[in-house]
């Protein structure tokens, strides 16, 4: 595959995984948790590096899962003791992120790991950092990790589709039916963590929030069905990723920045033109009735 093809494939996988996870983030009103986890996984990655002295996929994933769950548990713990939910998120993630930043600055030294990279990502270099697999051949490490994470996310969403739906819509009923609502919450936080860390190399901690939230928010405007929203959100993620790449090439700028910008444009278009919620729908169909 060519250099451009690898970048497009990697970016599309980011858009797809983030788009799917983002739907449940939005419907569970947890957009802020995505912001939090996207930052605290840095601490997980740094800690994993300090323990193993390796920056490989598995170590990063494990570190990110632990950091993500730690974030979720701490936020819940403070909240249950009377701290406002949003304040709790704000306190926990900035503190954990700060520890990550301090560790990078003081302990890590001369490795391919710096704050700039963690925040903004650098998809441009990814195709050169490859691993050799039987049958498939050379594949960029980041792409391989994203494929694995995407398949895991997809498997979990499909296998527990109705459980995700009911715990999201009505956690009280779900619990009364014997569905483990709390466990599902932490499984979901784990999925958010691995999606974030896999997307990290490509788009960085800040842009991953855009990829998680904006395509899902746009998809929400177009449909009244959860399954359609999932497909649309994934598609919007891919369109933003590919569109963003060509935009970046065209005006010669940051790829991750252009991708995030594209999600914003898609949202704006949806906000104006969507059939039920859009601004234009009020102007265009004044003669149709909803009843």
Q: Which of 159, 182, 280, 284 binds other proteins (CB under 8 A)?
A: 159
- Cβ closer to other proteins: 165 or 185? 165
Interacting positions 182-211 with other proteins (CB under 8 A):
none
Binding mask 89-128 for other proteins (x = CB under 8 A): ----------------------------------------
Residue 173 in the binding site for other proteins (CB under 8 A): yes
Write the interaction track for other proteins spanning residues 19-58; mark x where CB under 8 A is met and - where it is not. --------x-x-----------------------------
Q: How far apart are CA 262 and CA 203, in angstroms?
A: 13
> Which of 129/176 has CB closer to other proteins?
176
Q: Residues touching other proteins: how many (CB under 8 A)?
A: 29
Scanning residues 219 to 248, which ones bind other proteins (CB under 8 A)?
A: 220, 223-226, 228-229
Question: What DSSP string runs through 192-254?
Answer: HHHHHHHHHHHHHHHHHHHHHHHHHHHHHTT-S-HHHHHHHHHHHHHHHHHHHHHHHHHHT--
Q: Candidates 178, 250, 283, 287: give the one binding other proteins (CB under 8 A).
A: 178
Q: Cα angle vertex 32, ends 122, 269, to 5°?
A: 70
C-alpha 109/C-alpha 262 separation (Å) is 35
- Give whichever of 116 and 289 is closer to other proteins, judged by the CB atom: 289
Determine contact, residues 23/233, Cβ cutoff 8 Å. Answer: yes
As given in the structure block, the two tokens for residue 117 are 């990279």
179 is a site residue for other proteins (CB under 8 A): yes
Determine if 78 is a binding residue for other proteins (CB under 8 A): no
Provide the phi-psi class of 40: left if phi over 0, else alpha when psi is between -120 and 50, else beta: alpha
**Smallest distance, other proteins to C-beta of residue 208, A:** 24
Mark the segment that binds other proteins (CB under 8 A) among 111-119, 140-148, 199-207, 218-226.
218-226
Q: In the structure encoding, which two tokens stand for residue 183, read together?
A: 């466990």
Residue 243 Cβ vs other proteins, minimum distance, rounded to whole Å: 25
Which among 97, 87, 125 is positioned nearest to 38, based on CA atoms?
97
Distance CA 225, CA 138 (A): 40
Whole-Å CA distances, 141 to 7, 27, 56, 165 = 12, 32, 8, 33
Q: Which residues bind other proteins (CB under 8 A)?
A: 27, 29, 82, 159-163, 165-166, 168-170, 172-179, 220, 223-226, 228-229, 290
């Amino acid at each position: 595959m060519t250099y451009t093809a690898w970048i497009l494939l990697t970016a599309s996988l980011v858009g797809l995984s983030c788009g799917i996870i983002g739907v449940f983030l939005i419907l569970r009103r947890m957009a802020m948790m995505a912001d939090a986890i996207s930052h605290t996984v840095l601490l997980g990655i740094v800690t994993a590096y300090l323990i193993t002295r390796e920056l490989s996929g598995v170590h990063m994933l494990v570190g990110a899962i632990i950091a993500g769950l730690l974030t979720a548990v701490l936020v819940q713990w403070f909240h249950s003791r009377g701290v406002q939910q949003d304040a709790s998120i704000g306190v926990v993630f900035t503190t954990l992120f700060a520890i990550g930043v301090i560790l990078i600055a003081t302990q890590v030294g001369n490795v391919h790991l710096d704050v700039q990279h963690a925040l903004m990502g650098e998809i441009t270099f990814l195709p050169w950092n490859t691993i050799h697999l039987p049958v498939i051949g050379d594949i960029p490490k980041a792409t391989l990790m994203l494929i694995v994470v995407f398949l895991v996310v997809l498997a979990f969403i499909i296998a527990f589709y109705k459980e995700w739906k009911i715990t999201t819509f009505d956690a009280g009923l779900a619990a009364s039916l014997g569905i483990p609502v709390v466990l599902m919450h932490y499984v979901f936080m784990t999925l958010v963590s691995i999606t974030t860390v896999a997307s990290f190399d490509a788009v960085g901690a800040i842009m991953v929030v855009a990829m998680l939230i904006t395509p899902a928010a746009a998809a929400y405007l177009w449909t009244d069905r959860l399954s359609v929203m999932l497909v649309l959100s994934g598609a919007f993620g891919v369109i933003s990723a590919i569109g963003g790449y060509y935009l970046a090439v065209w005006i010669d700028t940051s790829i991750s920045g252009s991708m995030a910008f594209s999600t914003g444009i898609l949202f704006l278009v949806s906000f104006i033109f969507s059939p039920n919620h859009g601004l234009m729908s009020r102007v265009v169909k004044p003669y149709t009735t909803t009843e």
